[in-house]
Chain A
Amino acid sequence: MRIVARRLGLYLLTAWVAVTANFILPRLMPGNPVQTLIGKITSQVTPAEIRAIRLSFGMGFKQGIIAQYFTYLGQLFHGNLGVSITLGSPVSSILRESVPWTIGLIGISTIISFALGTLAGALLGWTRGSRFDSMIPTATFFQAVPYFFLGTVMLLVFGSNLHWFPVLGAYSQSATPGWNWTFIASVLRYGELPVISIVLSSVAGWMLGMRNMMITMIGEDFVLMAVAKGLPRRKVIAHAARNAVLPSIANLSLAIGLVVSGALLVELVFNYPGVGDLLLQAVLNEDYPLIQGIFLVITLTVLAANLIADVVYLVLDPRTRSEAAV
């Protein structure tokens, strides 16, 4: 388990870097961000609000920069991410509402896309040289299309023109949010098109990666041995695929970051009530506490996903397990 501990250490360090970046960035920028912010708020600013804004930057009091930093860390530790300038409510409570939508949407899309892509990639690799190879340029094209653009096209074609899917939002206005069937069914129905968009944009990446690994694995002796043993074809493919999938999982850390970045914008296209949509609003309104809060939450979630991927890898590859035991 030493490997898991080491990875956990890395992610804690990464989280600290992200937190610290949030602290340093406003101070690197020209001008006083607090004044800039207050200047941006059009309505009357109460002293309490000014204090909240200062606090969210850790600039609440007349302190040295080190002390400011610890005040800032302490605030974070208590879950205090400051107050949103435009929405007026605490950033943490805003995030509590939108984060589940994002995790649900991106999590489900990623699982579907990984499973489909890996399966298709394994078959493409196995049948290399056949007519299926002609799929590669098309797949590459889908890999290169920006997520939000594909989402927009899907929305336009299948949503507003063909009316196959409901568009905009995460559930029907007529459904009451809660644990009732009408609501859950509505959520699933509204989720279809965003999920399909994200899967279509990300599946080709998994597929092409898996194909290349599969081809490399088929060149290995143990796959030839599986054939020599007279095993049925599907078992031979399984031998190769079981090993080929390992690098995909090892590279998940890179991929999760890219998928999340892309998928956040899909939320925006579909007006999905997740953090992606929120982030755009925050950026447009220059709502810095909210931007920072969203960045932190996204980073922490991605780190958690990385940790899960690491554990899965450890379970699937006995070689890393025994290294950890040494």
Chain B
Amino acid sequence: MRGLALPRSPKVILGLGILGFFIVLTVVGPWLAPYNPSSTAFTALLTPSSHHWLGTTSLGQDIFSQLLVGARATMVVALVAGLVATLLSMTIGISAGYLGGVPDDGLTLLSNVFLAIPGVPLLIVIDSYLPVNSRSNEFVIGLIISLTGWAWGARVLRAQTMSLRNRDFVEAARIIGESRRRIMFSEIAPNLLPVLASSLLFTVLYSIGAYVTLAYIGLTSTATWNWGTMLYWAQANNAPLSNEWYWFVPPGICIALVGTGLALVNFGIDEFINPRLRAAGLTARQRRQLGLARRPRLGVTPVLRTASSRQPTGVVAK
């Protein structure tokens, strides 16, 4: 079993920093909000000021409060959808990869069908039939999103499971007579941790996109504050064309930042899974130490000019 020690590249640190910030915001956002986001007590369409950092909407609501409160619903849906989808991918992908034969054919076909159906249009259809009280429930929305988002992860996990199926430790577990379920979820799954993590980040990313899209076209309850509904109201009131950037730009930037954070951490996991992606060889600092002017290129192995004075015990490091 190998743990998940992420490479400490600046990309990963930046990503974790961004994610950390938004996770904190999810928890404390609603308490930090200076006003009730639905309160229409203020003058409409104020520009940003010290009282209203991001101005007010055409109904006189405080935009900054909406942004802070909206973080929670957005992140909760994304997380619920991501977790459920990853659980589905894991169950279906590992079963297909480990069991093989007819179950594999059936499950692979199922995931291929779900992969081929465009997810967001399907979501829109399903969601448009939902009663209004379900639409305002983040958990229902998250579950439906997860239904359209598990297939990719299942495919990747199936391939990875097949490569593990005949490894010694799985063989050993079989000989001891452990049950199939135990082998799949106690022996194989822990070894797929990096792939699972990557799959989780990917589905969370997809879920944010899907949820915000649904909210933006008005298919979630417009009374629940999330970044998508903010964009919906901004669009509905023609904020973009009226140059009220402070209304629609902040939620968009927040969505993109969360996505960037997820993708950057995923970069680190990719580097963990595929060693070739890791900064191969010489870091920029090592290159400077060695006095190499440029990055080594394939087919031109660099030559140290100060070769004769070097000792093989790392004297250069000093």
Contact = CB atoms under 8 A, between A and B. Distances in A.
Contacts of B240: 152-153, 155-156, 160
B270 A212 contact: yes
Contacts of A302: 116-118
Contact of B252 (A30, A146, A253): A146
Contact of A306 (B116, B126, B216): B116
A187 interface: no
Interface stretch (A6-14, A60-68, A78-86): A6-14
A57 to B, nearest CB: 12
Given A29-B129, A146-B252, A152-B240, A261 B213 contact: yes
Contacts of B256: 141, 144-146, 149
Contacts of A25: 125-126, 129
A261 B11 contact: no
A167 to B, nearest CB: 9
A297 to B, nearest CB: 9
- Among B115, B128, B255, the one with the most A-chain Cβ atoms within 10 Å of its Cβ is B128
Interface in B98-123: 109, 112-113, 115-122
A145 B124 contact: no
A253 B117 CA distance: 9
A72 interface: no
25 contacts: A13-B113, A21-B125, A22-B125, A29-B131, A136-B267, A137-B264, A145-B252, A146-B252, A160-B240, A212-B270, A224-B298, A236-B298, A253-B116, A258-B206, A261-B118, A262-B209, A264-B120, A265-B217, A279-B217, A283-B128, A284-B217, A291-B125, A294-B121, A298-B121, A302-B117
B263 A298 contact: no
A233 B49 CA distance: 56
Interface in B252-300: 252, 255-260, 262-264, 267, 270, 274, 276-277, 279-280, 284, 295, 298-299
A152 B244 CA distance: 12
B24 interface: no
A38 interface: no
A258 B213 CA distance: 12
User: Which of under 10, 10 to 19, 20 to 34, or 35 or more describes the interface residues of B?
Assistant: 35 or more
A219 B115 CA distance: 30
Contacts of B284: 129
B10 to A, nearest CB: 9
- Among B117, B130, B295, the one with the most A-chain Cβ atoms within 10 Å of its Cβ is B117
Nearest to A223: B298
B267 A140 contact: yes
Contact of B241 (A18, A30, A160): A160
Contacts of B255: 144-146, 149
B185 interface: no
B113 A268 contact: no
- Among B116, B213, B241, the one with the most A-chain Cβ atoms within 10 Å of its Cβ is B116
A145 B243 contact: no
Contacts, number: 182
Interface of B: 11, 14, 109, 112-113, 115-122, 124-126, 128-131, 152, 205-206, 209, 212-213, 216-219, 231, 235, 240-241, 243, 245, 248-249, 252, 255-260, 262-264, 267, 270, 274, 276-277, 279-280, 284, 295, 298-299
Interface of A: 10-11, 13-14, 17-18, 21-22, 25-26, 28-30, 33, 127, 129-130, 136-137, 140-141, 143-146, 148-150, 152-153, 155-156, 160-161, 208, 212, 215-216, 218-219, 223-224, 227-228, 236, 253-254, 256-258, 260-262, 264-265, 268, 279-280, 283-284, 286, 288, 291-292, 294-295, 298-299, 302-303, 306
Given A137-B14, A299-B122, 6 more contacts: A17-B113, A146-B212, A160-B241, A212-B270, A212-B274, A299-B118
A227 B125 contact: no
Given A253-B115, A257-B119, A265-B217, A140 B276 contact: no
Contacts of A228: 299
Given A10-B116, A25-B125, A261-B121, A149 B217 contact: no
Contact of A283 (B218, B241, B258, B259): B218
Contacts of B122: 18, 21, 295, 299
A106 to B, nearest CB: 11
Given A140-B264, A152-B240, A152-B248, A286 B259 contact: no
Given A21-B122, A137-B11, A227-B299, A144 B263 contact: yes
A216 B280 CA distance: 11
Nearest to A141: B260
A236 B299 contact: yes
Contacts of A148: 213, 216, 231
